[in-house]
Structure 1
Amino acid sequence: MIKNPVLTGFHPDPSIICVDDTFYIANSTFEYFPGIAISKSKDLANWETVKSPLDNLNMLNMIGNPKSGGIWAPCLSYSDGYFYLVFTDVKNWAFGPFKDAPNYIIKSKSIEGPWSDPIFINCSGFDPSLFHDDDGKKYIVNMEWDYRKQDKEQFSGILLTEVDANTLKPIKESVKIFKGSELGLVEGPHLYKRNGYYYLITAEGGTSYDHAVTVARSKNIYGPYEIHPNTHLVTSRFNKDLYIKKAGHGSLCKGMDDRWWIAFLCARPIDENGRCPLGRETSIAEIVWVDDWPYIKDGGVNPPLEFEGYGDKKEKKIFDYRFNDGNFKLDFMSLRKPAEYEILDNGVLRLFGRQSLMSNHNQNMLLRRQTDFRFEAQTCLEFKFNHFQQMAGIIYRYDELNQYMLRVAYDENIGQKCLRILCLKNGQFSMEPDFEIPVGDGKLYLKLTVKDTSGRFYYAKEDMEWIEIPYNVDVTVLSDEYADPMGFTGAFIGLSCIDMKDYSCYADFYYFKYRVLD
Structure 2
Amino acid sequence: MLENPVIRGFNADPSFCRVGEDYYIATSTFEWYPGVQIHHSRDLVNWRLVARPLRRASQLDMRGNPDSCGIWAPCLSYADGKFWLVYTDVKRLDGAFKDAHNYIVTCETVEGDWSDPTYVNSSGFDPSLFHDRDGRKWFVNMRWNHRGKGTGLNPAHDAFDGIELQEWHPEKGLLGEVTTIFTGSDLGLTEAPHLFWHDGYYYLTTAEGGTGYDHAVTLARSRDIRGPYETHPQKHLLTARFNPENPIQRVGHGQYVEGHDGRCWHSFLCGRPQQGPRGSFCAMGRETGLAEVVWRDGWLWLKDGGMLPPTTIELPVERIVPVPVEHDFRGPDLPMDFQWLRTPQPERIFRMTGSALRLIGRESLGSWFEQSLVARRQDEPAYEAECDLLAEPPNWQRAAGLITYYNRHKFHAALVTREGGERVVTLVSCLGDWPGEALTFHGRFPVAEGKVTLGVKVDRAVQRFSVNGVAVGPELDASVVSDEGGRGEHSSFTGAFVGVVAHDLTGQGWTADVTRFRYAPKAD
Q: TM-score range by the shorter chain?
A: over 0.9
> How far has the Cα of 1:183 moved from its partner?
1.1
* Contact preservation (8 Å) 1:32, 1:333: yes
Unaligned runs of 5+ in 2: 150-155
Question: Quick one: which of 315, 318, 339 aligns to 1:333?
Answer: 339
Deviation of the 1:503 alpha carbon:
2.7
Q: Distance in 2 between matches of 1:514 and 1:76?
A: 30
The answer as to whether partners of 2:88 and 2:126 remain within 8 angstroms in 1 is yes
SS of match in other structure, 2:176: coil
Distance 1:426 1:238 in 2: 29
Following the alignment from structure 1 to structure 2, what is the Cα–Cα distance between the partners of residues 315 and 168? 48
Q: Deviations over 1:399-429 (max 9, x none)?
A: 0111111001111x2x221111111012353
> Are residues 324 and 20 of structure 1, via their aligned partners in 2, closer, same or farther at CA, if it must alter by over 3 Å?
farther
How far off its partner does 1:430 sit? 3.3
Q: Return the alpha-carbon distance in structure 1 between the equivalents of residues 172 and 501 of structure 2.
A: 40
Match of 2:153 in 1: none
Consecutive unaligned residues in structure 1, runs of 5 or more? 461-465
Alpha-carbon distance in 2 for matches of 1:104, 1:409: 43
Question: What letter corresponds to residue 157 of structure 1 in structure 2?
Answer: G
The one-letter amino acid of 1:72's match is: W
Amino acid at match of 2:339: M
Q: 1:421 to 1:508 in 2, by over 3 A?
A: same
| 1:289 aligned residue (268, 291, 295) | 295
Query: Map of 1:30-109 to 2, 5 A cutoff?
Result: 30-94=30-94, 96-109=95-108
CA distance, structure 2, for counterparts of residue 172 and residue 511 of structure 1: 56
Question: Aligned partners of 1:195, 1:52: CA distance in 2, in Å?
Answer: 34
Displacement of 1:253 in angstroms is 0.9
Deviation at 1:173, TM superposition (A): 2.7
1:476 match: secondary structure: helix
Say whether the 8 Å CA contact 1:103–1:122 is kept in structure 2.
Answer: yes
In 2: Cα distance, 1:13 partner to 1:309 partner? 24
Q: 2:321 aligns with which of 312, 315, 318?
A: 315
Q: Structure 1 residue 471 and structure 2 residue 480: aligned?
A: no
Report deviation, 1:255. 1.3
Counterpart for residue 172 of structure 1: 176
1:374 matches 2:382 = yes
Q: Segments of 4+ in structure 1 off by > 4 A? A: none
**Displacement of 1:483:** 3.0
Structure 2 residue aligned with 1:463: none
d(CA) in 1 for partners of 2:319, 2:194? 29
Aligned position for 1:226? 230
Q: Which amino acid letter does the alignment assign opposite residue 50 of structure 1? A: V
Q: Choose from 208, 212, 217 the match for 2:216.
A: 212
Q: Deviation at 1:288?
A: 0.4
RMSD: 1.4
Compared CA separation, residues 306 and 159, structure 1 to 2 (3 A): same
Q: Which of 493, 501, 516 pairs up with 1:511? A: 516
Counterpart for residue 8 of structure 2? 8
**TM alignment of 1:325-404, pairs within 5 A:** 325=331, 328-338=334-344, 339=346, 340-345=349-354, 347-404=355-412
Q: Select which of 185, 192, 198 maps to 1:194.
A: 198
Q: Give the distance between the partners of 1:497 and 1:168, measured in 2 at CA.
A: 46
Structure 2 distance, partners of 1:2, 1:52, is 24
Q: Find the aligned partners of 1:32 and 1:138 in 2 and give their Cα distance.
A: 30
Give CA deviations for 1:146-200 in whole Å, capped at 9, x if unaligned. 1113371111100001001x32611123110000111111000000001110000
Contact 1:420 1:431 in 2 (8 A): no
Normalised by the length of structure 2, the TM-score is: 0.94
Q: Distance in 1 between matches of 2:315 and 2:186?
A: 34
Q: Deviations over 1:40-83 (max 9, x none)?
A: 11111111111210011221000000000000000000001110
User: How much does 1:473 deviate?
Assistant: 1.7
Asked if the contact 2:32/2:340 (under 8 Å) is kept, the reply is yes
Q: Is the 8 A contact 1:61 1:336 kept in 2?
A: yes
Within 2, Cα distance between the matches of 1:271 and 1:325?
A: 40
Q: Identity over aligned residues, as a percent?
A: 43
Alpha carbons of 1:309 and 1:74: their partners in 2 closer, same or farther (altered >3 Å)?
farther
Cα deviation for residue 311 of structure 1 reads 1.7
Match of 2:432 among 426, 433, 447: 426
**Contact 1:119–1:168 (CA under 8 A) maintained in structure 2:** no
Deviations 1:328-378 (A, max 9, x none): 531100000143222223x21111101000000000111100001110000
For 2:161 and 2:332, the matched residues in 1 are separated by: 45
Contact 1:391 1:499 in 2 (8 A): yes
Post-superposition offset of 1:470: 2.1
Structure 1 residues 451-460 or 467-476, which shifts more?
467-476
CA contact 1:322–1:328 (8 Å) conserved in 2: no
One-letter code of the match for 1:492? F
CA–CA distance in structure 2, aligned partners of residues 50 and 27 of structure 1: 12
The one-letter code of the counterpart of 1:495 is V
Quick check: 1:446–1:458 contact (8 Å CA) kept in 2?
yes
Distance, in Å, in 2 between the alignment partners of 1:14 and 1:169 is 26
TM-score for the superposition, normalised by structure 1: 0.95
Question: What one-letter code is carried by the residue in structure 2 that aligns with 1:306?
Answer: T
Displacement after TM superposition at 1:310 (Å): 5.1
8 Å CA contact 2:363–2:507 kept in 1: the answer is: no
Conservation of the 8 A alpha-carbon contact between 1:417 and 1:441: yes
| Letter paired with 2:318 | D
Partner of 1:147: 146
Task: Please name the residue that 2:166 is paired with.
Answer: 161
CA distance in 2, matches of 1:167, 1:439: 62
Compared CA separation, residues 47 and 326, structure 1 to 2 (3 A) = farther
- Greater Cα shift, 57-66 or 250-259: 250-259
Determine the C-alpha separation between the residues in 2 that align with 1:9 and 1:76. 20
CA distance in 1: counterparts of 2:257 and 2:108, whole angstroms: 20
How many aligned positions are there?
Answer: 507
| Cα deviation, residue 326, structure 1 | 5.5
- Which residue does the alignment assign to 1:134? 133
- Asked whether the equivalents of residues 423 and 431 of structure 1 are also in contact (C-alpha less than 8 Å), the reply is yes
Q: CA deviation at 1:431?
A: 4.2
Name which of 498, 502, 509 aligns with 1:497: 502
**Matched letter for residue 171 of structure 1:** L
Aligned to 1:439: 447
